[in-house]
Amino acid sequence: MEKSVNYGGHHDDLNLEATELRLGLPGIIRSDIIGYEKQSSSASTVVVVRNNKRASPEGIMTQESSSKSHSYVSDARNGDPDSHHQPPAKAQVVGWPPIRSFRRNSFQQKKTDQGDGAGMYVKVSMDGAPYLRKVDLKVYKSYPELLTALENMFKFTIGEYSEREGYNRSEYAPTYEDKDGDWMLVGDVPWDMFIFSCKRLRIMKGSEARGLGCL
């Protein structure tokens, strides 16, 4: 892959800052292009680019963050002395690249749906328990893993799953609410299909549970 040229990284060691040309008072962090030499085609490019905003990076970075959910926080504010040599890091520049909010939203939404990074947390309730819990479905690769985790979380045992009888030999039956709002028995559909359609989990107890298994 072709990485973007990391001007800052290369020059940390060479300390070209002392000899560079600047358009402005020394000490001010500028976002100018400085001293470009066309002849030099060698690896040591003379372009030293400042990637921070001008004297007050705070002013530019923070004012956008108040109302929009994607605020871009500048690393430049962290006081790292070398930070002004870094190229623009992830999400460092407000409104750049110029992509409208709804597109950014839909990527984040997609990632949440697919559980990338953000995890797929669903609520778990158990009949008789005083409060609900949450599990990240992304963490598990199969039904046995999930069910073991639930057993540990709520301190109970689920019996074996059979396609014909569900969890009939157990006092409990794990169920889930799917995207259509229907309550389904956990285990019927392939795991991958399950994690996409599961909105919440409920561990049913007693006769209600056995009733489901008998269907």
Partner 1 sequence: MDPERKKVVEHVAVSTFPDEVLERVLVQLKSHKDRSSVSLVCHSWYDAERFSRTHVFIANCYSVTPEIVSRRFPNIRSVSLKGKPRFSDFNLVPPNWGANIRSWLVMFAAKYPFLEELRLKRMTVTDESLEFLALSFPNFKALSLLSCDGFSTDGLAAIATHCKNLAELDIQENDLNDKSGSWLSCFPENFSSLEVLNFANLSNDVNFEALERLVSRCKSLKVLKVNRNITLEQLPRLLIRAPLLTELGTGSFLQEHPACQYSELENAFNKCMNLNTLSGLSEVTALSLPALYPACANLTFMNLSCAALQSGELAKLLVHCPCLRRLWVLDTVEDKGLEAVGSNCPLLEELRVFPTDPFDEDTFHGVTESGFIAVSYGCRRLSYVLYFCRQMTNAAVATIVQNCPDFTHFRLCIMNPWQPDYQTNEPMDEAFCAVVKSCTKLQRLAVSGLLTDLTFEYIGKYAKNLETLSVAFAGSSDWGMQCVLGGCPKLRKLEIRDCPFGNAALLSGLDKYESMRSLWMSDCKVTMNGCRVLAKEMPRLNVEVIKVDGSNESQADKVYVYRSVAGPRTDAPPFVLTL
Residues lying near partner 1 in the complex (CB under 8 A): 1-5, 23, 31-33, 36, 38, 41, 45, 47, 49, 51, 53-56, 58-60, 62-64, 66-68, 70, 87-91, 93-104, 106-107, 109-110, 113, 179, 193, 196-197
Shortest spacing between CB 98 and partner 1, in angstroms: 5
161, 150 Cβ separation under 8 angstroms: no
Q: Report the C-alpha gap between 155 and 53 in whole angstroms.
A: 55
Give the residue carrying structure tokens 């889930």. 176
Shortest spacing between CB 46 and partner 1, in angstroms: 10
Q: Closest CB to partner 1 among 70 and 123?
A: 70
Which residues partner with 135 through β-bridges?
A: 122
What residue type is 188 in one-letter code? D
Shortest spacing between CB 166 and partner 1, in angstroms: 20
Q: Report the C-alpha gap between 35 and 132 in whole angstroms.
A: 62
Shortest spacing between CB 144 and partner 1, in angstroms: 23
Q: Closest CB to partner 1 among 93 and 122?
A: 93
